[in-house]
């Protein structure tokens, strides 16, 4: 229970990577503020299960992270209801694909708001409290697309490159305040969303899911293996540990070799 007594806010944590991180932090004893969209009943069930399984406090707030005042409010809520905010994981993200010349301006604005601006607003709100305690961990979930590009993802790639840049700036500024700031850069992660994509691809192509898995991975990764939300969670836990106290300002790929080639 290495994180007992710590409080973590994980955005976009009602499913997928964010939920994997929230579970991993709770397993180490951290109290957790969940955030995300979904069915209210399902979210309450999830919240209760996490609290029961790990014997920690788990709260939820459905803040719309595209709105700066709501980002500041969820940080304050974590501090007020759970006693502090020691670990901030900026994970929430959305995606849309289209060629640059056809990319809808509204989608550009929405992706930049959630994937990049919310990271800035979250850090801005959380840093004063972390400085006061001389301890903090900020983990921004970027992407392999924070380091390399793919076609038809102009907003996502621009936003994730921005996340990596913002991470480096914050890390430099906070280097002697007991606060580390790092970016995790996943490649393909087998989330429920990706599982649905694979099933749809198999249906359209008249193949099966294992065939489509291999094809999807071969497009970018030398290692033909998905990362899992649990593995992303394990990396987040390490970044919160004493063993990582001088690791800061780093984009850490967990991507089966994607950005190595």
Burial of 107 (0-12, 13-18, 19+ CB in 10 A): middle
The rounded distance, in Å, linking the Cα atoms of 109 and 155 is 8
Contacts of 73 (CB under 8 A, 6+ apart): 61, 63
Q: Rounded to whole angstroms, what are the CA distances from 59 to 38, 83, 193, 256?
A: 15, 12, 24, 34
Closest CA to 85 of 15, 24, 25, 23: 25
Q: Is 43 helix (H, G, I), strand (E, B) or coil?
A: helix
The catalytic position among 54, 108, 121, 156 is 156
> Do residues 160 and 145 lie in contact, with contact meaning Cβ atoms separated by under 8 Å?
yes
Is 60 a known active-site residue? no
Q: Is the dihedral angle over the CA atoms 249, 251, 141, 70 positive or is it negative?
A: positive
Which residues are known to be catalytic? 156
């Amino acid at each position: 229970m290495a994180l007992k007594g710590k409080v973590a806010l994980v955005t976009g944590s009602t499913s997928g990577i964010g939920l994997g991180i929230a579970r991993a932090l709770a397993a180490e004893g951290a109290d957790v503020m969940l955030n995300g969209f979904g069915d209210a009943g399902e979210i309450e069930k999830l919240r209760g299960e996490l609290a029961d399984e790990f014997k920690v406090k788990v709260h939820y707030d459905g803040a719309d992270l595209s709105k700066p005042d709501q980002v500041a409010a969820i940080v304050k809520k974590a501090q007020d209801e759970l006693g502090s905010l020691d670990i901030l994981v900026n994970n929430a993200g959305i995606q849309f694909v289209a060629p640059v010349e056809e990319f809808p301006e509204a989608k550009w604005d929405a992706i930049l708001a959630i994937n990049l601006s919310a990271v800035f607003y979250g850090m801005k709100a959380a840093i004063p409290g972390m400085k006061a305690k001389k301890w903090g961990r900020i983990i921004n979930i970027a992407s392999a697309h924070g380091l390399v590009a793919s076609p038809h993802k102009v907003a996502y790639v621009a936003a994730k490159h921005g996340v990596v840049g913002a991470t480096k700036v914050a890390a430099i500024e906070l280097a002697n305040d007991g606060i580390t700031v790092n970016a995790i850069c996943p490649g393909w992660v087998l989330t429920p969303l990706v599982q649905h994509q694979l099933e749809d691809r198999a249906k359209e192509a008249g193949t099966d899911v294992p065939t489509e898995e291999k094809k999807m991975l071969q497009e970018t990764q030398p290692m033909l293996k998905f990362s899992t939300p649990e593995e992303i969670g394990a990396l987040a836990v390490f970044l919160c540990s004493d063993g990582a106290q001088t690791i800061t300002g780093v984009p850490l790929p967990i991507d089966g070799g994607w950005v190595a080639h």
